[in-house]
């Protein structure tokens, strides 16, 4: 538990997490634990004491982004206009993925053991399938569009190197124009 740590241990943990966030965002998940420890200014033992595996570090680092994606999908489902809910969800999820290369890799299963992936993925697919179904029923989304097409978008978004919100939104807009009927 974070609140029971000594202040220096809490500072080390916070520095490790911030360094990992920045490193994963910029360089993806291929960065070694030793390199993260070096950049955070702590020894490898300190890093492994707080995060015994890279998967544990990935889960902690990306929990906020997972919540942001879940919230975007929930907001999309709650929107009274199914097409607008779908459009906003795609845009918001794309922004989260483009701004953080590491999260895009984690989300598209580079670390399937990092999260209870079967549960997370099943829930996400169920919600996304409902979002897609509702948007298709409006006639504004191509009839042949599937949830797998969203997965392709997320995989492609990891290749967007202009890590800005504007670039992510433009990428999402181009995608949406291509799938609109």
Residues 23-39 have pLDDT tens digits of 887 777 888 999 999 99
**Are 71 and 124 found together in one domain?**
yes
**Are 132 and 163 found together in one domain?**
yes
- Contact between residue 165 and residue 96 where contact means Cβ atoms under 8 Å apart: no
**Are 46 and 67 found together in one domain?**
no
Q: What is the CATH number of the domain that holds 109?
A: 1.10.357
The pLDDT of residue 111: 53
pTM attached to this predicted model: 0.70
**Are 12 and 91 found together in one domain?**
no
Q: What is the CATH number of the domain that holds 14?
A: 1.10.10.60
What pLDDT digit, counting tens, does each position of 117-150 carry? 556 667 778 898 999 999 999 999 999 999 889 8
Domain termination residue (choose one: 52, 69, 85): 52
Structural domain total, the chain: 2
């Amino acid at each position: 538990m974070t609140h029971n740590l000594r202040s220096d241990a809490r500072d080390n943990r916070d520095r490790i997490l911030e360094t990992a966030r920045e490193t994963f965002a910029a360089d993806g998940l291929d960065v070694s634990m030793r390199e993260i420890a070096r950049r955070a200014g702590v020894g490898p033992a300190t890093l492994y004491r707080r995060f015994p595996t890279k998967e544990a570090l990935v889960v902690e680092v990306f929990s906020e982004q997972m919540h942001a994606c879940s919230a975007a999908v929930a907001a999309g489902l709650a929107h009274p206009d199914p097409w607008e809910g779908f459009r906003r969800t795609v845009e918001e999820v794309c922004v989260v993925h483009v701004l953080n290369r590491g999260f895009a890799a984690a989300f598209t299963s580079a670390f399937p053991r990092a999260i209870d992936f079967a549960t997370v993925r099943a829930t996400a697919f169920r919600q996304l399938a409902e979002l897609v179904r509702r948007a298709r029923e409006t006639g504004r989304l191509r009839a042949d569009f599937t949830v797998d097409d969203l997965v392709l978008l997320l995989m492609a978004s990891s290749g967007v190197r202009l890590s800005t919100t504007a670039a992510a939104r433009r990428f999402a807009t181009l995608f949406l124009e291509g799938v609109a009927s």
